[in-house]
Protein backbone atom coordinates (compact mmCIF):
# COMPACT_ATOMS: atom_id res chain seq x y z
CA UNK A 1 0.00 0.00 0.00
CA UNK A 2 1.37 3.42 -0.96
CA UNK A 3 1.91 6.37 1.36
CA UNK A 4 -1.03 8.13 -0.29
CA UNK A 5 -3.31 5.21 0.56
CA UNK A 6 -2.07 5.35 4.13
CA UNK A 7 -2.99 8.99 4.65
CA UNK A 8 -6.27 8.54 2.76
CA UNK A 9 -7.18 5.79 5.18
CA UNK A 10 -6.65 8.13 8.11
CA UNK A 11 -9.55 10.28 7.00
CA UNK A 12 -11.96 7.52 5.99
CA UNK A 13 -14.35 7.32 8.93
CA UNK A 14 -17.09 5.08 7.50
CA UNK A 15 -16.62 1.34 7.70
CA UNK A 16 -19.03 -0.75 5.65
CA UNK A 17 -19.20 -3.75 3.33
CA UNK A 18 -21.48 -4.71 0.48
CA UNK A 19 -21.24 -8.27 -0.81
CA UNK A 20 -20.70 -8.37 -4.59
CA UNK A 21 -20.82 -12.18 -4.67
CA UNK A 22 -23.14 -14.89 -3.41
CA UNK A 23 -20.72 -17.16 -1.60
CA UNK A 24 -18.68 -14.93 0.78
CA UNK A 25 -19.50 -15.76 4.38
CA UNK A 26 -16.91 -13.58 6.16
CA UNK A 27 -15.09 -10.45 4.99
CA UNK A 28 -12.38 -8.54 6.85
CA UNK A 29 -12.50 -4.79 6.32
CA UNK A 30 -9.02 -3.83 5.11
CA UNK A 31 -7.40 -0.73 6.58
CA UNK A 32 -3.80 0.39 6.45
CA UNK A 33 -1.99 -1.39 9.30
CA UNK A 34 -5.43 -2.24 10.71
CA UNK A 35 -5.76 1.29 12.14
CA UNK A 36 -9.29 2.39 12.92
CA UNK A 37 -9.87 6.10 13.54
CA UNK A 38 -11.31 7.01 16.88
CA UNK A 39 -15.03 7.77 16.44
CA UNK A 40 -15.34 6.08 13.03
CA UNK A 41 -18.85 5.11 11.93
CA UNK A 42 -19.56 1.44 11.39
CA UNK A 43 -22.49 0.57 9.12
CA UNK A 44 -23.88 -2.92 9.54
CA UNK A 45 -26.62 -3.83 7.08
CA UNK A 46 -29.45 -6.31 7.41
CA UNK A 47 -28.26 -9.93 7.10
CA UNK A 48 -24.89 -8.85 8.51
CA UNK A 49 -23.11 -8.98 11.85
CA UNK A 50 -19.82 -7.15 12.53
CA UNK A 51 -17.17 -8.15 15.04
CA UNK A 52 -14.51 -5.71 16.23
CA UNK A 53 -11.22 -7.39 17.11
CA UNK A 54 -9.02 -5.12 19.21
CA UNK A 55 -5.48 -6.11 20.11
CA UNK A 56 -6.17 -9.72 19.07
CA UNK A 57 -9.39 -10.18 21.04
CA UNK A 58 -13.06 -9.87 20.17
CA UNK A 59 -14.00 -6.49 21.64
CA UNK A 60 -17.64 -6.28 20.60
CA UNK A 61 -20.31 -7.68 18.31
CA UNK A 62 -22.44 -5.23 16.30
CA UNK A 63 -25.91 -6.04 15.03
CA UNK A 64 -27.50 -4.27 11.98
CA UNK A 65 -27.48 -0.49 12.34
CA UNK A 66 -25.09 2.50 12.53
CA UNK A 67 -22.45 2.33 15.25
CA UNK A 68 -19.83 4.84 16.41
CA UNK A 69 -16.49 3.26 17.24
CA UNK A 70 -14.78 4.76 20.25
CA UNK A 71 -11.72 2.74 21.15
CA UNK A 72 -8.27 3.44 22.49
CA UNK A 73 -6.93 3.15 18.96
CA UNK A 74 -6.69 6.72 17.48
CA UNK A 75 -4.78 6.37 14.21
CA UNK A 76 -4.30 10.08 13.43
CA UNK A 77 -2.83 10.98 16.81
CA UNK A 78 -0.69 7.89 17.11
CA UNK A 79 0.62 8.24 13.58
CA UNK A 80 1.69 11.83 14.18
CA UNK A 81 3.36 10.90 17.44
CA UNK A 82 4.87 7.57 16.42
CA UNK A 83 7.66 8.44 14.06
CA UNK A 84 9.85 5.94 15.77
CA UNK A 85 7.44 3.16 14.76
CA UNK A 86 7.67 4.09 11.09
CA UNK A 87 4.08 5.41 10.96
CA UNK A 88 2.85 2.03 12.28
CA UNK A 89 0.48 2.37 15.23
CA UNK A 90 1.02 -0.09 18.05
CA UNK A 91 -2.78 -0.18 18.53
CA UNK A 92 -4.39 -2.63 16.18
CA UNK A 93 -8.09 -3.12 15.47
CA UNK A 94 -9.90 -5.18 12.84
CA UNK A 95 -13.50 -5.34 11.70
CA UNK A 96 -14.97 -8.60 10.36
CA UNK A 97 -18.30 -8.66 8.59
CA UNK A 98 -20.31 -11.89 8.83
CA UNK A 99 -22.94 -12.59 6.20
CA UNK A 100 -25.92 -14.04 8.11
CA UNK A 101 -28.21 -14.73 5.14
CA UNK A 102 -28.95 -18.28 4.09
CA UNK A 103 -26.54 -19.83 1.61
CA UNK A 104 -28.78 -22.08 -0.45
CA UNK A 105 -28.35 -24.86 -2.99
CA UNK A 106 -25.24 -26.28 -1.39
CA UNK A 107 -24.67 -29.85 -2.57
CA UNK A 108 -24.01 -33.05 -0.69
CA UNK A 109 -23.63 -36.61 -1.92
CA UNK A 110 -22.02 -39.97 -1.28
CA UNK A 111 -18.51 -40.32 -2.69
CA UNK A 112 -18.68 -44.11 -2.49
CA UNK A 113 -21.73 -46.42 -2.59
CA UNK A 114 -23.36 -47.26 0.73
CA UNK A 115 -23.84 -50.94 1.57
CA UNK A 116 -27.30 -51.83 2.89
CA UNK A 117 -29.18 -55.02 3.64
CA UNK A 118 -32.54 -55.04 1.88
CA UNK A 119 -35.28 -57.59 2.52
CA UNK A 120 -36.18 -57.78 -1.19
CA UNK A 121 -32.76 -57.71 -2.87
CA UNK A 122 -30.41 -58.75 -0.09
CA UNK A 123 -27.14 -56.80 0.08
CA UNK A 124 -27.33 -53.72 -2.19
CA UNK A 125 -25.18 -50.69 -2.93
CA UNK A 126 -26.85 -47.29 -3.21
CA UNK A 127 -25.80 -43.72 -3.91
CA UNK A 128 -27.57 -40.59 -2.74
CA UNK A 129 -27.27 -36.86 -3.26
CA UNK A 130 -29.21 -33.70 -2.48
CA UNK A 131 -28.93 -30.10 -1.40
CA UNK A 132 -29.11 -28.04 1.79
CA UNK A 133 -28.92 -24.48 3.10
CA UNK A 134 -26.76 -23.08 5.85
CA UNK A 135 -26.46 -19.77 7.68
CA UNK A 136 -24.26 -18.26 10.39
CA UNK A 137 -26.18 -18.57 13.65
CA UNK A 138 -23.47 -17.42 16.08
CA UNK A 139 -20.81 -15.16 14.56
CA UNK A 140 -18.56 -15.33 17.62
CA UNK A 141 -18.48 -19.15 17.63
CA UNK A 142 -18.03 -19.31 13.87
CA UNK A 143 -15.13 -16.84 14.10
CA UNK A 144 -13.36 -18.83 16.80
CA UNK A 145 -14.02 -22.34 15.51
CA UNK A 146 -13.78 -21.92 11.74
CA UNK A 147 -12.68 -18.56 10.39
CA UNK A 148 -9.74 -17.62 12.62
CA UNK A 149 -7.73 -14.89 10.90
CA UNK A 150 -9.00 -15.72 7.40
CA UNK A 151 -9.66 -12.41 5.64
CA UNK A 152 -12.09 -13.80 3.05
CA UNK A 153 -14.04 -16.91 3.92
CA UNK A 154 -16.30 -18.55 1.30
CA UNK A 155 -18.76 -21.42 1.36
CA UNK A 156 -16.32 -23.60 -0.57
CA UNK A 157 -13.90 -23.37 2.36
CA UNK A 158 -16.26 -25.34 4.59
CA UNK A 159 -18.60 -27.17 2.21
CA UNK A 160 -16.39 -30.27 2.13
CA UNK A 161 -16.55 -30.64 5.92
CA UNK A 162 -20.30 -30.08 6.00
CA UNK A 163 -20.85 -32.55 3.16
CA UNK A 164 -18.92 -35.22 5.04
CA UNK A 165 -21.01 -34.63 8.16
CA UNK A 166 -24.28 -34.96 6.22
CA UNK A 167 -23.17 -38.09 4.38
CA UNK A 168 -22.02 -39.80 7.57
CA UNK A 169 -25.30 -39.12 9.37
CA UNK A 170 -27.33 -40.11 6.31
CA UNK A 171 -25.56 -43.46 6.12
CA UNK A 172 -26.14 -44.22 9.78
CA UNK A 173 -29.81 -43.15 9.75
CA UNK A 174 -30.61 -45.04 6.56
CA UNK A 175 -29.02 -48.19 7.94
CA UNK A 176 -31.09 -47.97 11.14
CA UNK A 177 -34.35 -47.07 9.38
CA UNK A 178 -34.57 -50.49 7.67
CA UNK A 179 -36.72 -49.10 4.84
CA UNK A 180 -36.93 -51.28 1.71
CA UNK A 181 -35.06 -49.82 -1.24
CA UNK A 182 -38.20 -49.66 -3.37
CA UNK A 183 -39.96 -47.63 -0.64
CA UNK A 184 -37.21 -45.04 -0.12
CA UNK A 185 -38.67 -42.61 -2.67
CA UNK A 186 -41.83 -42.35 -0.59
CA UNK A 187 -39.85 -41.45 2.53
CA UNK A 188 -37.58 -38.67 1.21
CA UNK A 189 -39.36 -35.96 3.22
CA UNK A 190 -39.32 -37.89 6.49
CA UNK A 191 -35.67 -38.83 6.05
CA UNK A 192 -34.72 -35.23 5.25
CA UNK A 193 -36.47 -33.90 8.34
CA UNK A 194 -34.98 -36.58 10.57
CA UNK A 195 -31.45 -35.98 9.28
CA UNK A 196 -31.82 -32.21 9.76
CA UNK A 197 -32.76 -32.70 13.41
CA UNK A 198 -29.81 -35.01 13.94
CA UNK A 199 -27.36 -32.57 12.34
CA UNK A 200 -28.57 -29.36 14.00
CA UNK A 201 -26.58 -29.83 17.25
CA UNK A 202 -23.41 -30.69 15.32
CA UNK A 203 -23.73 -27.62 13.08
CA UNK A 204 -24.33 -25.37 16.10
CA UNK A 205 -20.93 -26.42 17.45
CA UNK A 206 -19.51 -24.42 14.53
CA UNK A 207 -21.99 -21.57 14.98
CA UNK A 208 -24.00 -22.66 11.94
CA UNK A 209 -27.62 -23.56 11.30
CA UNK A 210 -28.62 -26.15 8.69
CA UNK A 211 -32.00 -26.00 6.96
CA UNK A 212 -33.83 -27.18 3.84
CA UNK A 213 -31.85 -30.38 3.72
CA UNK A 214 -33.29 -32.28 0.77
CA UNK A 215 -32.75 -35.76 -0.61
CA UNK A 216 -33.00 -35.42 -4.37
CA UNK A 217 -32.21 -38.98 -5.38
CA UNK A 218 -31.27 -42.39 -4.04
CA UNK A 219 -30.10 -44.68 -6.84
CA UNK A 220 -29.06 -48.30 -7.26
CA UNK A 221 -26.15 -49.52 -9.41
CA UNK A 222 -26.83 -49.37 -13.14
CA UNK A 223 -26.99 -53.15 -13.63
CA UNK A 224 -29.55 -53.49 -10.83
CA UNK A 225 -31.65 -50.70 -12.32
CA UNK A 226 -31.62 -52.47 -15.68
CA UNK A 227 -32.84 -55.69 -14.06
CA UNK A 228 -35.62 -53.77 -12.32
CA UNK A 229 -36.62 -52.16 -15.62
CA UNK A 230 -37.00 -55.62 -17.19
CA UNK A 231 -39.03 -56.81 -14.25
CA UNK A 232 -41.26 -53.73 -14.51
CA UNK A 233 -41.73 -54.32 -18.22
CA UNK A 234 -42.97 -57.85 -17.56
CA UNK A 235 -45.37 -56.50 -14.95
CA UNK A 236 -46.77 -53.95 -17.39
CA UNK A 237 -47.12 -56.63 -20.09
CA UNK A 238 -49.37 -58.62 -17.77
CA UNK A 239 -51.12 -61.69 -19.15
CA UNK A 240 -49.11 -62.68 -22.21
CA UNK A 241 -52.03 -64.67 -23.64
CA UNK A 242 -54.27 -61.59 -23.62
CA UNK A 243 -51.44 -59.55 -25.08
CA UNK A 244 -50.99 -61.92 -28.03
CA UNK A 245 -54.74 -61.86 -28.68
CA UNK A 246 -54.62 -58.10 -28.73
CA UNK A 247 -51.69 -58.18 -31.14
CA UNK A 248 -53.59 -60.59 -33.38
CA UNK A 249 -56.62 -58.31 -33.40
CA UNK A 250 -54.41 -55.39 -34.33
CA UNK A 251 -52.87 -57.40 -37.16
CA UNK A 252 -56.32 -58.34 -38.51
CA UNK A 253 -57.40 -54.72 -38.43
CA UNK A 254 -54.26 -53.72 -40.32
CA UNK A 255 -54.81 -56.47 -42.90
CA UNK A 256 -58.42 -55.40 -43.43
CA UNK A 257 -57.25 -51.86 -44.12
CA UNK A 258 -54.73 -53.14 -46.69
CA UNK A 259 -56.42 -55.75 -48.95
CA UNK A 260 -53.42 -55.99 -51.31
CA UNK A 261 -51.28 -57.26 -48.50
CA UNK A 262 -53.77 -59.73 -47.07
CA UNK A 263 -51.97 -62.86 -48.21
CA UNK A 264 -48.63 -61.92 -46.74
CA UNK A 265 -50.31 -60.59 -43.64
CA UNK A 266 -52.17 -63.89 -43.22
CA UNK A 267 -48.96 -65.86 -43.44
CA UNK A 268 -47.28 -63.60 -40.92
CA UNK A 269 -50.30 -63.73 -38.66
CA UNK A 270 -50.36 -67.53 -38.76
CA UNK A 271 -46.70 -67.74 -37.82
CA UNK A 272 -47.15 -65.09 -35.15
CA UNK A 273 -50.11 -66.89 -33.58
CA UNK A 274 -48.22 -70.18 -33.55
CA UNK A 275 -45.29 -68.54 -31.80
CA UNK A 276 -47.61 -66.70 -29.41
CA UNK A 277 -49.33 -69.95 -28.45
CA UNK A 278 -45.99 -71.53 -27.66
CA UNK A 279 -44.81 -68.54 -25.62
CA UNK A 280 -48.15 -68.30 -23.84
CA UNK A 281 -47.96 -72.01 -22.98
CA UNK A 282 -44.56 -71.48 -21.34
CA UNK A 283 -45.32 -68.26 -19.47
CA UNK A 284 -48.90 -68.77 -18.29
CA UNK A 285 -48.31 -72.20 -16.75
CA UNK A 286 -47.86 -71.79 -12.99
CA UNK A 287 -44.83 -73.38 -11.34
CA UNK A 288 -45.30 -77.11 -10.62
CA UNK A 289 -48.70 -77.09 -12.41
CA UNK A 290 -49.16 -78.56 -15.90
CA UNK A 291 -50.37 -76.07 -18.52
CA UNK A 292 -53.98 -76.75 -19.52
CA UNK A 293 -53.25 -76.16 -23.21
CA UNK A 294 -50.74 -79.03 -23.47
CA UNK A 295 -52.29 -82.39 -24.53
CA UNK A 296 -51.31 -85.31 -22.25
CA UNK A 297 -49.15 -88.02 -23.79
CA UNK A 298 -50.99 -91.12 -25.05
CA UNK A 299 -51.55 -93.93 -22.62
CA UNK A 300 -49.26 -96.87 -23.40
CA UNK A 301 -51.10 -99.05 -25.95
CA UNK A 302 -52.97 -102.21 -24.81
CA UNK A 303 -53.04 -105.58 -26.56
CA UNK A 304 -54.57 -105.67 -30.05
CA UNK A 305 -56.84 -108.59 -31.14
CA UNK A 306 -57.76 -110.04 -34.56
CA UNK A 307 -61.02 -111.95 -35.08
CA UNK A 308 -61.75 -114.49 -37.89
CA UNK A 309 -65.10 -113.77 -39.56
CA UNK A 310 -66.15 -116.02 -42.46
CA UNK A 311 -62.56 -117.07 -42.94
CA UNK A 312 -61.34 -113.45 -43.09
CA UNK A 313 -59.12 -111.63 -40.61
CA UNK A 314 -60.74 -108.54 -39.08
CA UNK A 315 -59.22 -106.04 -36.69
CA UNK A 316 -57.21 -105.07 -34.88
CA UNK A 317 -59.58 -104.41 -31.95
CA UNK A 318 -58.80 -103.23 -28.49
CA UNK A 319 -60.23 -104.88 -25.41
CA UNK A 320 -63.12 -102.38 -25.19
CA UNK A 321 -64.18 -103.17 -28.74
CA UNK A 322 -63.97 -106.91 -28.02
CA UNK A 323 -66.20 -106.45 -24.97
CA UNK A 324 -68.77 -104.66 -27.08
CA UNK A 325 -68.75 -107.45 -29.66
CA UNK A 326 -69.25 -110.08 -26.95
CA UNK A 327 -72.21 -108.17 -25.51
CA UNK A 328 -73.84 -107.79 -28.94
CA UNK A 329 -73.27 -111.42 -29.81
CA UNK A 330 -70.91 -110.73 -32.68
CA UNK A 331 -68.12 -112.58 -30.89
CA UNK A 332 -68.86 -116.08 -29.59
CA UNK A 333 -66.82 -118.38 -27.39
CA UNK A 334 -66.13 -120.46 -30.50
CA UNK A 335 -64.93 -117.51 -32.60
CA UNK A 336 -61.27 -117.75 -33.53
CA UNK A 337 -59.04 -114.99 -32.10
CA UNK A 338 -55.35 -114.21 -32.39
CA UNK A 339 -53.03 -111.72 -30.69
CA UNK A 340 -49.35 -111.34 -30.03
CA UNK A 341 -47.48 -113.50 -29.07
CA UNK A 342 -49.80 -116.45 -29.91
CA UNK A 343 -48.58 -118.85 -32.55
CA UNK A 344 -52.01 -120.19 -33.64
CA UNK A 345 -55.58 -118.96 -33.68
CA UNK A 346 -57.57 -120.00 -30.56
CA UNK A 347 -61.25 -120.02 -29.67
CA UNK A 348 -62.27 -116.90 -27.81
CA UNK A 349 -63.21 -118.99 -24.76
CA UNK A 350 -59.52 -119.94 -24.39
CA UNK A 351 -58.24 -116.36 -24.46
CA UNK A 352 -57.39 -115.47 -20.87
CA UNK A 353 -58.24 -111.78 -21.39
CA UNK A 354 -61.81 -112.71 -22.42
CA UNK A 355 -62.73 -115.07 -19.54
CA UNK A 356 -64.22 -112.33 -17.38
CA UNK A 357 -65.91 -110.72 -20.37
CA UNK A 358 -67.84 -113.92 -21.21
CA UNK A 359 -68.72 -114.36 -17.54
CA UNK A 360 -70.59 -111.03 -17.63
CA UNK A 361 -73.00 -112.32 -20.33
CA UNK A 362 -76.30 -113.39 -18.70
CA UNK A 363 -77.55 -116.90 -19.52
CA UNK A 364 -80.31 -117.26 -22.14
CA UNK A 365 -83.84 -116.68 -20.99
CA UNK A 366 -85.69 -120.07 -20.65
CA UNK A 367 -88.09 -120.67 -23.44
CA UNK A 368 -86.72 -117.81 -25.52
The reported pLDDT for the residue numbered 110 is: 86
- Long-range (24+ apart) CB contacts under 8 A made by 316-323 are 319/353, 322/353, 322/354, 322/357, 323/357
Q: What is the mean pLDDT of residues 158-163?
A: 90
pTM of the model as a whole: 0.55
Question: β-strand 305-309 against 336-338: which pairing, if any?
Answer: antiparallel
Q: How confident is the model at residue 263 (pLDDT cuts 50, 70, 90)?
A: very low
Q: What's the CA angle centered on 72, arms 71 and 78, to 5 degrees?
A: 125
Handedness of CA 15, 21, 25, 31 (dihedral sign): negative
Q: Is 310 helix (H, G, I), strand (E, B) or coil?
A: coil
Say if residue 97's pLDDT is above 90. yes
% of the chain at pLDDT higher than 70: 71
Give the model confidence (pLDDT) of 234-253 as tens digits: 665 555 566 666 667 777 77
Does residue 20 carry a pLDDT above 50?
Answer: yes
162 vs 89, which has greater pLDDT? 162
Band (pLDDT 50/70/90 cuts) for residue 280 is: low
**Paired strand residues for 209:** 135
pLDDT in the model for residue 75:
43
Amino acid sequence: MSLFDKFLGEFVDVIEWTDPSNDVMVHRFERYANEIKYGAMLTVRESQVAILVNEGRIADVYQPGLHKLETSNMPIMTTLQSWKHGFNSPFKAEVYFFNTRRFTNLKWGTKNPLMLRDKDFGAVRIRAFGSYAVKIQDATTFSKEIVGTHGQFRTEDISEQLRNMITARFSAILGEANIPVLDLAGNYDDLSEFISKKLSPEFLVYGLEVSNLLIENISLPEEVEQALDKRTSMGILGNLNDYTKFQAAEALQTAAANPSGTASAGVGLGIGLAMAQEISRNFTAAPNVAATTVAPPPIPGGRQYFVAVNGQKTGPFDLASIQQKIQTGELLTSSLVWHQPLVNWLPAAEIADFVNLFAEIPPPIPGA
